[in-house]
Amino acid sequence: MKKYILIFITFLLLIFTTACTQDKAAILFNKYPITEKNIYDYSVNFQAGSRIYYVILMPEKVESRYLYIQIIKKDNDYGRLGYNLIQTRDIRLKDEEINYFTDYFVLNQEGFYFMRVYSKDNPHKILASAEFYVSK
């Protein structure tokens, strides 16, 4: 009887302690317009003044279909703990863009940047975040 109880407790511990990870949203950057052929040729180093193409991949559907994007520069020249908000953008996802969004932006200052994506459903939770570098 002790053997069955031990097996049952082990089975319960296995079920409750194994971690199942969900797919998370991601941001991929590229130097060229993103297509199905070059989506995995992503880069994180870009030249100042050049177009930075990006795609936001979302495995789960965003209920409100609105995204909020921030581009932030890490810099110690500013008095706000070294962060400077460079660009913000509100996006409405179209019917064919339920699981992805692609566009580009241009940055003229060199430095270390990161991009954050929020859903309008829950604006306090970051859907995706990615870092990149702009050089001269």
* Per-residue model confidence (pLDDT) at position 20: 62
Q: What is the mean pLDDT of the chain?
A: 84
Query: pTM to 2 decimals?
Result: 0.76
Structure tokens belonging to residue 47: 């030249």
**Domain residue ranges in the chain:** 22-135
* Per-residue model confidence (pLDDT) at position 136: 86
Longest CA span, the chain: 73
pLDDT reading at 22 higher than 60: yes
22-135 CATH pick, 2.60.40.1930, 2.102.10.10, 1.20.1250.20, 2.40.30.40: 2.60.40.1930
Confidence band of 37 (pLDDT split at 50, 70, 90): confident
Q: How far apart are CA 86 and CA 134, in angstroms?
A: 13
- Burial environment of residue 102 by CB neighbours within 10 A (0 to 12, 13 to 18, 19 or more): middle
Q: Count Cβ atoms below 10 Å from residue 55 Cβ, excluding itself.
A: 17
* Per-residue model confidence (pLDDT) at position 48: 92
